[in-house]
């Protein structure tokens, strides 16, 4: 058996011989594999990249009615009259609220939806966020109209319109109890 000597001419112990042999073998394997890895990566560079499929959201703008559209306002007035007629609460405060709201549905102005994204603009912001997240409706495909109520008690009524199937879904916000979904389907003739 041959003796293997270290740097200072001293013989190496058997475990050191084994560790030196392992390191030497590992180095040789890496040195042999490196050119093959470089050649393989060069071949991959010549290939076309694999086709990647991504989910693409198309911004398709749909036609919306105007806030002053006579057909829309007529449908809103009819719905509000039916909504209050079917309600069982007939005290004086309720009748007063019904009177103020129904007589103040003639004039609506368009509102910018971007102004209704904070908690201060609730419940309008809640419905907008719900439609964007749960129904994937683009902000550009929503119309928000607000009436200017001179009365503090009933407050402003908002109309939120968005396309649905072959017509429009109309949400009336601040009409019923808070959290109550007051909406109807409207189809322009």
- CB contact set of 41 (below 8 Å; sequence gap of 6+): none
**Whole-number Å distance between alpha carbons of 89 and 108:** 27
pTM recorded for the entire structure: 0.62
pLDDT of res. 55: 46
pLDDT of res. 118: 74
**Whole-number Å distance between alpha carbons of 3 and 20:** 14
CA 150 to chain centre: 35
pLDDT of res. 155: 72
Closest by alpha carbon to 169, among 136, 131, 125?
131
Can you list the residues of the chain whose pLDDT is less than 50?
55-57
Contact 80, 100 (CB under 8 A): no
pLDDT of res. 126: 86
Closest by alpha carbon to 144, among 114, 122, 167, 164?
114
pLDDT of res. 169: 92
């Amino acid at each position: 058996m041959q003796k293997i000597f270290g740097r200072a001419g001293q013989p190496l112990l058997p475990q050191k011989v084994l560790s030196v042999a392992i390191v030497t073998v590992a180095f040789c394997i890496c040195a042999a594999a490196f050119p093959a890895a470089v050649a393989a990566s060069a071949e991959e560079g010549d290939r076309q990249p694999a086709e990647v499929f991504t989910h693409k959201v198309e911004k398709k703008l749909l036609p919306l009615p105007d806030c002053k559209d006579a057909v829309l306002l007529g449908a809103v007035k009819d719905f509000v009259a039916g909504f209050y007629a079917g309600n069982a609460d007939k005290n004086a405060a309720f009748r007063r609220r019904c009177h103020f709201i129904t007589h103040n549905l003639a004039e609506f102005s368009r509102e910018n939806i971007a102004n209704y994204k904070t908690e201060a603009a609730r419940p309008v912001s809640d419905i907008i966020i719900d439609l964007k997240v749960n129904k994937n409706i683009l902000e550009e495909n929503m119309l928000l109209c607000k009436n200017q109520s001179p009365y503090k008690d009933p407050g402003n009524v908002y109309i939120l319109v968005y396309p649905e199937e072959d017509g429009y879904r109309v949400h009336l916000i601040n009409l019923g109890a808070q959290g109550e979904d007051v909406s109807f389907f409207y189809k322009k003739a």
